[in-house]
Amino acid sequence: MVFKPVPPVPMTAEPSLGDAYITTSVDAFLNWGRRNSLWPFPFGTACCAIEFMGVVSSVFDLSRFGSELVRFSPRQADLLIVAGTVTYKQAPILRRIYEQMPEPKWVISAGACATSGGFYDCYCTVPGIDEIIPVDIYIAGCPPRPEAFIEAIVQLQAKIDKESRKEASQVGA
Ligand code: SF4
């Protein structure tokens, strides 16, 4: 087989930016950085936490969304993922972990147990973590599939995109 010769690409000096410039807003710039570098703190108490382990493993690869840097210190995390059953005995611990996380911070409630107490209709189980801390995204399922975790991250990114520093300062955040 004979290949046609490819004409050489003319080498020119890299053009300067000239009059070109980029504009954006502080909100858009900060949100872009925050949405793509969420550092999760997993509060895993039961089987849903196993699903989260699958999400950060190589098959589902949460690093594609910039959220693979799992931290086990709340002071280094901005995304609290509650995965599993939460009892009233654990509730003060969960609340303290949330309060130790710096602003801005977000919460994902993963699975039926964290969201509603699941099938544990008993005196010791919290019927939903939103009785203790604010929740941004809920994930349905028992257990939720890893794809559902990824969907929650994508939904949270979309929510962060719409956040405004002006509104945050008005509520004192
Ligand atoms: S929702 Fe289901 S899988 Fe998740 S912690 Fe509860 S019982 Fe386990």
User: Which domains does the chain show, CATH number per domain?
Assistant: 38-162 (3.40.50.12280)
- Give the model confidence (pLDDT) of 8-38 as tens digits: 766 666 666 667 777 778 888 888 999 999 9
Taking only the tens place, the pLDDT of each residue in 94-107 is 999 999 999 999 99
**Helices in the chain by DSSP H: which ranges?**
26-35, 47-55, 91-100, 111-116, 146-161, 165-170
The residue whose C-alpha atom lies closest to atom 5 belonging to ligand 1 is 84
Residue 117 Cα to ligand 1 midpoint, Å, equals 9
DSSP secondary structure letter of residue 144: P
Report which ligand 1 atom has the smallest distance to the Cα of 47: 8
Q: Where are the beta strands (DSSP E) in 16-139?
A: 40-44, 79-83, 106-110, 137-139
State pLDDT tens for residues 55-98.
988 899 888 988 888 999 999 999 999 999 999 999 999 999 99
Ligand 1 centroid distance, CA of 53 (Å): 14
pTM reported for the whole predicted model: 0.83
Kindly state if the Cβ of 118 falls inside 6 Å of ligand 1.
yes
